[in-house]
Structure 1
Amino acid sequence: MKIVFAGPSIHGLDNALLAACEMRPPAGCGDVLRAVVAGADAIGLIDGVFESERSVWHKEMLFALASGVRVMGAASIGALRAAECQAFGMEGIGAIFEQYRSGERICDADVALAHAPAELGYVPLTEALVDIEPVIARLAAEDWLGADEAKALLAAARHIHFKQRTWNAVLDAADFDETRRAELLHARRSFGLSQKQRDASEMIAAISSSEPLVHMDLHTFEFSRTAFFDQLQRQTPLKDPAQC
């Protein structure tokens, strides 16, 4: 059983891509633990909750890995956890993971965005910085933006809180006129999938395959149970939510 936790990062992707996995909502604390107990042999982490609920623990990743489960991460909180747990065998996928792994990107808020609830398909309502920055770079590379314009857009995007960071808000903050706004928004729409969507697609394709994505020379580790993990295990209802 291959279980993938995702929400806004896969909005708009072809449903055929998702068919090989059991898709579940963004992961919260206890969800990966529950998936292991339910019998998952592979777990993909893309999106997760934060602020409103407790986030998925690193300890859950280690528990899954120590239990022989293949664990992969990409695009959003999955990229963060993969960078943090790579030494223990978690596989990271995509450009966003590579940025965190290398230290090029260090702020976990860069993947954050606001989105609609499950009933509305987790449609993104704001833009993550990890999606805005490569678009600005591509606009500059294709001569849609001058150097000063690109600098102004980057500064605006990095200054705006993720709950208010939309393209319109960024263009407003950078003081672009209506003509330039229309040109840039048109160019941006022509670029297709966002970086999060591309990384999520790559991870889902990889986890759907029976072959490991990478061959890593890992140090074996012994899972160390703690009082906090034992408490989480006691407090987490282990019934498979798909059967509820």
Structure 2
Amino acid sequence: MSHNQVCQFLKVKADLRGPIKRGDLQNIPDDAKIVAIVDGVFHMNLSVTPREVLSVLKRGVKVIGSSSMGALRAAELDVYGMVGIGDVYRMYKDKIIESDAEVALTFDPDSLRAVTEPLVNIRYSVLRALEKQIIQPEIAEKIIQTAKDTYFYDLTYYYLFNCFEENDRELEPFKQFVMENRKELDLKQKDALKLIEYLNTIY
């Protein structure tokens, strides 16, 4: 979610920062009352650790997570007081998804706008398409497997569709569904907006 989008919806004063990485929580102000985590760096030696989050919770800081790294850590640490918000958090909590690869993406370093599509969004799109009977289960399985086999640096809908035969007519309804509903199918962004709404209500 870009900084501009956050500023558009967040009604309270906040110190907006980029995706969280290891060591960032050590540098929050001593008088901080709330830390909200959405995106994060996922490389093994750079990810914010559960121990770092716990240390902030022990200081009495309210820590809220959603959408991406925030959802993953909240699913691990909600028993210690971290608050999880949104469907991605619930999917991790219920073990529907487990890998951090589900939410990994690349982003523009200046605007923080997503450049690639996270696997969890594609799962959500496929689920919605199945519910609306736009695709058959075997096509849904094929789409998900292709997305899982694609490195997250390359994963976009455009790349995904190009992995299929050009004349694969069974995929056409799904393509149209995605192109017409991109905003509605962005589960990570929807969850981030839920977190923002929550922040707006507790201040």
How high is the sequence identity, in percent, across the aligned residues? 28
Question: Equivalent of 1:55, from 40, 47, 52?
Answer: 47
Q: Does 1:173 align with 2:163?
A: yes
Indicate the SS of the match to 1:24: coil
Partners of 2:94 and 2:4 lie apart in 1 by 29
Distance 1:175 1:44, change over 3 A: same
Q: CA deviation at 1:168?
A: 1.9
Question: Equivalent of 2:56, from 20, 45, 64?
Answer: 64
Q: Does 1:164 align with 2:154?
A: yes
Q: CA deviation at 1:51?
A: 2.8
Runs of 5+ consecutive residues of structure 1 not aligned to the other structure: 1-8, 212-244
Give 1 or 2 for the bigger CA radius of gyration.
1
Indicate the SS of the match to 2:5: coil
Q: CA deviation at 1:180?
A: 6.5
- TM-score between the two structures when normalised by the length of structure 2: 0.87
Task: Identify the residue that residue 65 of structure 2 maps to in structure 1.
Answer: 73
Q: Does 1:40 align with 2:40?
A: no
Partners of 1:116 and 1:179 lie apart in 2 by 34
* C-alpha contact 1:152 1:174 (8 A) present in aligned 2: no
Q: Does 1:186 align with 2:179?
A: no
* C-alpha contact 2:135 2:170 (8 A) present in aligned 1: no
Greater shift, 86-95 or 201-210, is seen at 201-210
Within-5 A mapping of 1:4-23: 9-10=1-2, 13=5, 15-20=7-12, 21-23=14-16
Partners of 2:84 and 2:124 lie apart in 1 by 19
Indicate the SS of the match to 1:43: strand
Q: CA deviation at 1:13?
A: 3.5
Task: Identify the residue that residue 116 of structure 2 maps to in structure 1.
Answer: 126
Indicate the SS of the match to 1:103: coil
Within-5 A mapping of 1:17-32: 17-20=9-12, 21-32=14-25
Runs of 5+ consecutive residues of structure 2 not aligned to the other structure: none
Partners of 2:15 and 2:66 lie apart in 1 by 17
Partners of 1:12 and 1:143 lie apart in 2 by 36
Alignment-mate amino acid for residue 77 of structure 2: C
Q: CA deviation at 1:146?
A: 2.6
Number of residue equivalences: 200
Task: Identify the residue that residue 231 of structure 1 maps to in structure 2.
Answer: none
Partners of 2:123 and 2:166 lie apart in 1 by 17
1:83-122: CA deviation from partner (whole Å, max 9, x where unpaired):
11111100001111011111121111111011221x2x12
* C-alpha contact 1:72 1:78 (8 A) present in aligned 2: yes
* C-alpha contact 1:11 1:122 (8 A) present in aligned 2: yes
Indicate the SS of the match to 1:73: strand
